């Protein structure tokens, strides 16, 4: 089995500053820890690093650090941190990223921004510059912000966009699961009408608080497949965020392998192209081998 993890985080609080880290996540997660969280049955493994929201002043330093450790972590592409609504400062930042090795896209983390941020003229301008440079955009939003991503896709059709974590729908817990809501299903379908948009099968374990069951997540995977087709589905581990469970929080390194197996078995049972979902689609979207 080939496995290209489209959504891998790495961080080291001794190297960079992360204001959001707390609980079981407030420790180093880098090459050694990732090795211990390997996926069973992965004969070939690689990953796309997605910015871990260090402080903004260190976005470039984060790219440099990840590049230094790429040989140990299998990172073949970097989605760097960026703010797309800063006008000339955005352009200067993208200029600086162009000088760094391995950058294939950026993420302006929208989930904590006011609704409508991606609809602003400043953001659209930055997104158009991003598209002109051949880079991709990771859209990390809450379910209520999905329409903002659709609006961005319509406004900047040349920009390849991937939706992180299926838009973070409410899925409940293993003990009290929730079904997909009509609003989420409708908004996901609307987003899928834009051919340059893909979706990551990632993050659902974190939305369930780390305790989840295959039966709980399969309705959401089915909805993504129905909307996007197997050719626009990218598996992502969301490690280590999705490997933390319980109260108090506990890090569970085996969670990454469990999520990969769940998605692979689901795809196989549905007659979908498992290799494309686990490797090929991410390789094509991000332009990596």
- pLDDT tens sequence across 213-242: 999 999 999 999 999 999 999 999 999 999
Confidence at residue 169, expressed as pLDDT on a 0 to 100 scale = 98
What stretches of 133-254 show up as alpha helix (H) in DSSP? 146-155, 182-192, 204-207, 214-228
159-177 as b/e: b if 16+ CB within 10 A: bbbbbbbbbbbebeebeee
Q: What are the CA-CA distances from residue 115 to residues 7, 52, 121 (Å)?
A: 24, 21, 14
Number of neighbouring beta carbons within 10 Å of residue 21: 16
Contact of 286 with 104, CB cutoff 8 Å? yes
Dump pLDDT digits (tens) for 159-171: 999 999 999 999 9
The confidence band for 248, taking pLDDT boundaries of 50, 70 and 90, is: confident
Give dist(CA 91, CA 75) in Å, integer: 25
SS3 241: helix
SS3 105: strand
Q: What are phi and psi of 98, to 5 degrees?
A: -65, -20
Computed over every residue of the chain, the mean pLDDT equals 97
Confidence at residue 42, expressed as pLDDT on a 0 to 100 scale = 94
CA angle (127, 166, 169) in 5-degree steps: 120
Contact of 153 with 128, CB cutoff 8 Å? no
Give dist(CA 158, CA 263) in Å, integer: 30
Give dist(CA 286, CA 280) in Å, integer: 10
pTM (global) more than 0.95: yes
| Closest by Cα among 185, 257, 182, 245 to 212 | 245
Q: What are phi and psi of 246, to 5 degrees?
A: 90, 175
DSSP E strands, the chain: 2-8, 44-50, 75-81, 103-107, 136-139, 161-163, 197-201, 233-235, 244-245, 250-251
Give dist(CA 198, CA 229) in Å, integer: 9
Preceding omega of 40 cis (within 30 degrees of 0):
no
Contact of 33 with 76, CB cutoff 8 Å? no
Confidence at residue 247, expressed as pLDDT on a 0 to 100 scale = 81
The confidence band for 259, taking pLDDT boundaries of 50, 70 and 90, is: very high
- The burial class, CB within 10 Å (0-12 / 13-18 / 19+), for 253 is middle
The confidence band for 246, taking pLDDT boundaries of 50, 70 and 90, is: confident
Q: What is the mean pLDDT of residues 189-208?
A: 98
Give dist(CA 246, CA 236) in Å, integer: 21
Confidence at residue 136, expressed as pLDDT on a 0 to 100 scale = 98
Confidence at residue 210, expressed as pLDDT on a 0 to 100 scale = 85
- The burial class, CB within 10 Å (0-12 / 13-18 / 19+), for 29 is buried
């Amino acid at each position: 089995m080939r496995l290209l993890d489209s959504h891998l985080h790495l961080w080291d609080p001794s190297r960079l500053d992360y204001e959001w880290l707390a609980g079981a996540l407030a420790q180093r997660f880098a090459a050694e820890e990732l090795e211990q969280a390997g996926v069973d049955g992965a004969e070939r493994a690689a990953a796309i690093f997605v910015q871990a929201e260090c402080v903004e002043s260190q976005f470039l330093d984060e790219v440099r650090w990840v590049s230094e450790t790429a040989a140990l972590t299998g990172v073949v592409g970097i989605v760097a941190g960026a703010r797309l609504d800063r006008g000339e400062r955005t352009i200067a930042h993208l200029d600086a990223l162009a000088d760094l090795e391995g950058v294939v896209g950026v993420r302006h983390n929208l989930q904590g921004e006011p609704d409508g941020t991606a609809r602003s003229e400043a953001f659209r301008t930055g997104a158009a510059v991003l598209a002109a440079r051949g880079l991709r955009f990771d859209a990390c939003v809450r379910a209520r912000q999905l329409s903002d991503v659709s609006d961005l896709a319509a406004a900047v059709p040349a920009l390849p966009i991937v939706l992180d974590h299926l838009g973070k729908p409410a899925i409940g817990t293993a003990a009290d699961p929730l079904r997909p809501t009509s609003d989420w299903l409708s908004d996901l379908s609307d987003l899928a009408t834009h051919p340059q948009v893909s979706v990551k099968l990632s993050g659902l374990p974190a939305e369930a608080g780390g305790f989840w069951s295959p039966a709980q997540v399969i309705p959401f995977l089915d909805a993504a497949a129905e909307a996007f087709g197997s050719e626009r589905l990218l598996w992502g581990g969301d490690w280590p965020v999705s490997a933390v469970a319980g109260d108090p929080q506990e890090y569970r390194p085996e969670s990454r392998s469990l999520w990969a197996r769940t998605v692979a078995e689901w795809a196989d049972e549905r007659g979908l192209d498992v290799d494309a979902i686990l490797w090929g689609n991410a390789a094509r979207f991000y332009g990596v081998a």
